[in-house]
Amino acid sequence: MDNNLHPSLEFFMDKLDHAKNHFERALDCKHTEFDDLYPYMIEHPQFFWYKRYVAWSELLTIVKLCDELNIPWTERFTDRQAEYVRGRVMSGKVLDYWYETNETREHVG
């Protein structure tokens, strides 16, 4: 089989970084590609929740692939963030305390 058909470690790290960045931008209510796909959703109150859910799901999918391929992914996260990702549930705790320094500031809703 051609080695070009096998994604590299660098490929997965790039995808992981992209998914983490996408989730953090959604968490911070910043523009993401999701806004471009569904511009009409901005008018709906549930938009930001759904946008975060989509980004979280993407992140979990990439992490699952990394786990299945024995690719280390935790070094891209703080210990707390890695714990949240392993827990798989996007709870209020994840939203409020994703950033280590978030304990001292209010979460942007």
Q: Give the tokens for residue 37.
A: 């796909």
6 three-state secondary structure: coil
Are 4 and 58 in contact by the 8 Å Cβ rule? The answer is: no
Q: What is the pLDDT of residue 106?
A: 47
pLDDT of residue 108: 45
Mean pLDDT per 10-residue segment, the chain (109 residues): 69 96 94 84 82 95 96 96 96 91 49
What confidence score (pLDDT) does residue 18 get? 97
Q: What pLDDT score does 80 carry?
A: 96
Q: Read off the pTM.
A: 0.81
Q: What is the predicted pLDDT for the residue at 104? A: 44
Q: Which of 58, 76, 60 is nearest to 68 (CA)?
A: 60
